[in-house]
Each structure stands twice: as C-alpha cells, then as structure tokens.
Amino acid sequence: MGKIFKFGQDVDTDQIIASQYIIYPTIDEMKVHTFESLDSDFAANVQPGDYVVASENFGCGSSREQAPSVLKALGVKAVVAKSFARIFYRNAINIGLPVIVCKELHDNVQTGEEMELFMQEGVVRVNDKEYECTRLPEYMQGILDQGGLIASLNKEEEK
C-alpha cells in the first residue's frame, strides 16, 4: 500500500523538475525540488512506495529524463494517469518507473488515500474499489521487468 499524491491535467516537465535544477550533477541533488512550483512540500512528504495520480497528458513538454528520474529516486512506485505525453512515457519505462494509464482513477480519489497497484493484473485498488488500467505492450513491459533499458541491453548482450 502507498499514499496517493494527486495532480491535475497537462502537468509539464518544468513543473515536475524545473530547468534550473536539471543541470545539477546528480538526481539526488535534484529530487528535493520535485513538483516545487505545484506542491513545495511534495519531496519532504512523499515516502517510498507512494503513488502519483494525474489527469491527462502527464509529463508534457521537454525531453528531460530527469522528470521520471526524480520521481523514481524519491521512491514513487508508479505514476497512474489518464494519459501521458510521449517522451515522458518512453523515458519512464527506460529508467524503470512504471507508468500506468487508468481513465477512471483520477476523478474518484484524493491525495492521502491509500492505494495498491496490481500491475500484472492491470488493476488498482483504492478504498476497496477496483479500477481497471491498461497493461503495457509486451515489448515495453519486458524493458520495465528487467529494470529499465540499461539492464535490458546488458541482458541482450549475455544472450
């Protein structure tokens, strides 16, 4: 179980991690500024295993991979949104952060509620209610299962 942190529509990558921080040398130095302009306490309050829930077009804007990386570094277990912007979606899978499309969840939950994700089954559960979510295409699930693109490439080499 993890807590929900709920965000709105068109959350762009500048809002996830602003431009002035993405040139910090390490993700750990950046991560304390995650969602700073939307919720300055987010980085202090989020715990490993918590979830980010958003509406449409999460992660639109720049190609910065730091956006999914800071979320993963803070221990966010998955981002569940109505839809994702393309580059954020690819980046998240490549670094091993699950990104789940669920059309109904956002409108029915609040920040602070407890949630559980069953990725294989394509289901999330909040307040004893279950919501169906889209499963990843096999190819992408494969990359995610192996822990991201680097692990996946290394594994291909072993073959």
Partner 1 sequence: MGETIIEKIVRNNVGRVVHPGDIVTVNVDRVMIHDIFIPFVAAKFEEMGFTKIWDTDKAVLIYDHLVPASQVDDTRHFREGNAFAAKYDMKHVHRSDGICHQLMTEAGYVKPGNIVFGTDSHTTTYGCVGAFSSGIGYTEMASILGTGTLWIRVPETIKIHITGKLPANVMAKDIILKLIGDLGADGATYKALEFTGDTIEQMSVASRMSMSNMAVEAGAKCALFAPDEKTAAYCEMTLTQKERELVGDTDAQYCQVLHYQAEDFVPVMACPSNVDKIKPVSELVGKEIDQVFIGSCTNGRLEDLMAAAEIVRGKHVAPFVKLIVTPASRKIYRQAIENGTMEVLTQAGAIVTHPSCGLCCGRTGGILTDHETVVATNNRNFLGRMGTSKVGIYLASPRTAAACAIAGKIVVPE
For partner 1, the closer CB: 12 or 113:
12
Cα atoms in the 13 Å half-sphere on the side-chain side of 15: 15
56 versus 113: smaller Cβ distance to partner 1:
56
Does 155 help bind partner 1 (rule: CB under 8 A)?
Answer: no
Given the complex with partner 1, which of 52 and 115 has the nearer CB atom?
52
- Is residue 63 involved in binding partner 1 (CB under 8 A)? yes
Burial 14-30 (b: 16+ CB within 10 A, else e): bbbbbeebbeeeebeeb
Among 3, 94, 125, 141, binds partner 1 (CB under 8 A): 94
Contact mark string toward partner 1, 99..138, x via CB under 8 A: --------------------------------------x-
Asked if residue 99 lies in contact with residue 107, where contact means CB atoms within 8 angstroms, the answer is: no
Long-range contacts formed by 36-41: CB under 8 A, 24+ apart? 38/7, 38/11, 39/5
Size of the site for partner 1 (CB under 8 A): 36
Q: Is 76 in the site for partner 1 (CB under 8 A)?
A: no
Residue with tokens 């998240």: 92
Q: Which of 135, 134, 141 is nearest to 102 (CA)?
A: 134
- Does 150 bind partner 1 (CB under 8 A)? Our answer is yes
Are residues 152 and 140 in contact, defined by beta-carbon separation less than 8 angstroms? no
149 binds partner 1 (CB under 8 A): yes
Q: Write out the H or E segment, with its range, that includes residue 156.
A: helix 149-158
- Can you give the binding site for partner 1, defined by CB under 8 A? 10, 12, 14-15, 18-20, 22-23, 25, 37, 56-57, 60-65, 83-87, 90-91, 94-95, 137, 139, 148-150, 153-154, 157
